Amino acid sequence: MKALTNGNYSLYLDMYRNGQRSYEYLKMYLIPETDNNARRQNRAILAAANAIKTKRNIELANQDSNAKEAMSLSDWMNIYKKNQKEKEKKDSNQIKVTMQILGDYAQMSIPLEQIDKKFCQEFIDYLIEEYRPNGKTVSNYTLYNYYRVFNGALNAAVRAGYLKVNPFTQINSSCKIHKPECKREYMSIDEIRSLIATPIRNGEVKNAYLFSCFCGLRIGNIRGLKWNDIYVEHGQYQLKMETKKGKVPVLIPLSSEAIKWIPERGQKKADDYVFDLPSPVMVSLLVKAWGKAAGISKRITFKTARNTFATMMLTLGVDLSTTSKLLGLSDIKTALIYAKMIERRKVQAVNMINELFD
């Protein structure tokens, strides 16, 4: 989709075949989702656009039905990159760099069917032992991402029928590149204040995001939150959050700061949703633009809001077990990740003293 100056989004097909890219503008447009009618219209437009995309895929598949055996590594990586973009995955640049690395390691014209266990193991060895762009050492996290991209591309080739098996599955786990401990983004108190002070096109999105910052609820739970899930008991606001089927709902107390961002109920019934949010795509676009307008360089998502609540609790001295329960987690191990984030922040803070005496 392409953003237009009037606030609408134009839909088009981005097609890559036999080394050539082409575009087909559908003359279909998504409009700002200000009410239920707009949401229904957007759903209908997306359904029609997807029907056209499916038709084009079938046409291309029929044309290429006899070309599977001739598929090269280069052709497949370009197809994979295009498919990931269509799915709105954010790894286009990683795929591009991985293709460059594969080109340095081997001939990209190699038939896809010749990619075997030996090829994949030597690719891993090349990443670890030889890959040094501009003579610089690359972090293990970056190397893992390049391995992950190629592994994902081969899994997709198996699903598409170009490969019988992904050779990476034949390699012992100890010989692979493993993902380092993940880095979770979260906001400081000043950054939250900046968001509060910055206007956004959709007030419901702002309310829902800040509500998440002060209670840690996932976007899926916020979308499903109904007015009968929020109640007062002994003067304390609480919300009832549904978990997996068959399990008892989790009860989460709400601070007055969280309550502040719940919209007015008005005439809504007990079974109505609390937040009237637009589609996931629109929410993502609005939140991203909002964070940029607030001067925040971090990638702002609803996951960032949940991480912010978790680190806020631990910084205030709340123990791991309680923090885990407030997040609705069944395993305290996940909360340990947030605890390590706080510990790293403490180390950084203490080491700032060194700069005063350099």
pLDDT tens-digit series, residues 282-292: 999 999 999 99
pLDDT at 205: 96
Predicted confidence (pLDDT) at residue 116 exceeds the cutoff of 90: yes
pLDDT at 249: 74
**Which residues have a Cβ under 8 Å from the Cβ of 343 and sit 6 or more positions away?**
none
pLDDT at 177: 87
pLDDT at 358: 55
Lowest mean pLDDT among 15-19, 118-122, 222-226, 348-352: 348-352
Query: In which band, very low, low, confident or very high, does the pLDDT at 318 lie, cut at 50, 70 and 90?
Result: confident
Query: In which band, very low, low, confident or very high, does the pLDDT at 327 lie, cut at 50, 70 and 90?
Result: confident
pLDDT at 69: 56
Query: In which band, very low, low, confident or very high, does the pLDDT at 330 lie, cut at 50, 70 and 90?
Result: low
Provide the b/e sequence for 314-333 (b: ≥16 CB within 10 Å). beeeeebeebbbbbbbeeee
| 17 vs 265, residue with greater confidence | 265
Is pTM, for the whole model, over 0.85? no
CA atoms within 13 A on the CB side of 110: 14
Amino acid at 157: A
Query: In which band, very low, low, confident or very high, does the pLDDT at 349 lie, cut at 50, 70 and 90?
Result: very low
pLDDT at 88: 85
What distance in Å separates the CA atoms of residue 100 and residue 113, rounded to the nearest whole number? 20
Cross-sheet strand order for the sheet of 20-30: 2-3, 9-17, 20-30
Question: Nearest CA to 11 among 59, 40, 52, 58?
Answer: 52
Q: For CA atoms 121, 125, 130, 133, give the dihedral sign.
A: positive
| 346 vs 117, residue with greater confidence | 117
pLDDT at 246: 46
Question: Nearest CA to 60 among 34, 42, 38, 86?
Answer: 86
Burial (Cβ within 10 Å: 0-12, 13-18, ≥19) of residue 353: exposed
Lowest mean pLDDT among 7-11, 80-84, 160-164: 160-164
Query: In which band, very low, low, confident or very high, does the pLDDT at 245 lie, cut at 50, 70 and 90?
Result: very low
Give the bridge partners for 30, in sequence order. 9
Predicted confidence (pLDDT) at residue 293 exceeds the cutoff of 80: yes
Average pLDDT (111-134) is: 91
Lowest mean pLDDT among 45-59, 76-90, 188-202, 343-357: 343-357
Question: Nearest CA to 150 among 180, 174, 171?
Answer: 171
CB-CB contact of 281 with 88 (8 Å): yes
Helix and strand element counts for the chain (H, E): 13, 6
204-241 pLDDT, tens per residue?
A: 999 999 999 999 998 989 999 999 999 998 889 999 88
Predicted confidence (pLDDT) at residue 26 exceeds the cutoff of 60: yes
Query: In which band, very low, low, confident or very high, does the pLDDT at 183 lie, cut at 50, 70 and 90?
Result: low
Residue 314 tokens read as: 């631990």
pLDDT at 202: 94
CB-CB contact of 68 with 113 (8 Å): no
